[in-house]
Structure 1
Amino acid sequence: MKRDIHPPYGPVAFRDRATGRVFATRSTLAGSDIDRTVDIDGETYPVVDVDVTSDSHPFWTGTARTLDSEGRVEKFQRRYGRTS
Structure 2
Amino acid sequence: MQKGIHPEDYRLVAFKDMSNEQIFLTKSTAPTKETIEFEGNEYPLIKLEISRTSHPFYTGETKLLDTAGRIDKFKTKYAKFKK
C-alpha separation in 2, matches of 1:15 and 1:57: 14
Match 1:49 to one of 43, 47, 50: 47
* Mapping 1:1-80, distance limit 5 Å: 1-3=2-4, 5-7=5-7, 8-29=9-30, 32=31, 34-64=32-62
TM-score (normalizing by structure 2): 0.64
**Correspondence for 2:74:** none
Deviations 1:8-66 (A, max 9, x none): 2111011101111111111121xx2x11111112211101011111111011222126x
RMSD: 1.9
How many residues end up aligned between the 2 structures?
A: 63
* Identity %, equivalent residues: 37
Mind listing any 5+ residue stretches in structure 1 that lack a counterpart?
66-78, 80-84
Q: Which has the larger radius of gyration?
A: 1
C-alpha separation in 2, matches of 1:53 and 1:64: 15
C-alpha separation in 1, matches of 2:58 and 2:3: 38
- Tell me the secondary structure at the aligned position of residue 6 of structure 1: coil
How far the C-alpha of 1:6 sits from its partner, in A, is: 2.8
C-alpha separation in 1, matches of 2:34 and 2:55: 24
Mind listing any 5+ residue stretches in structure 2 that lack a counterpart?
64-80
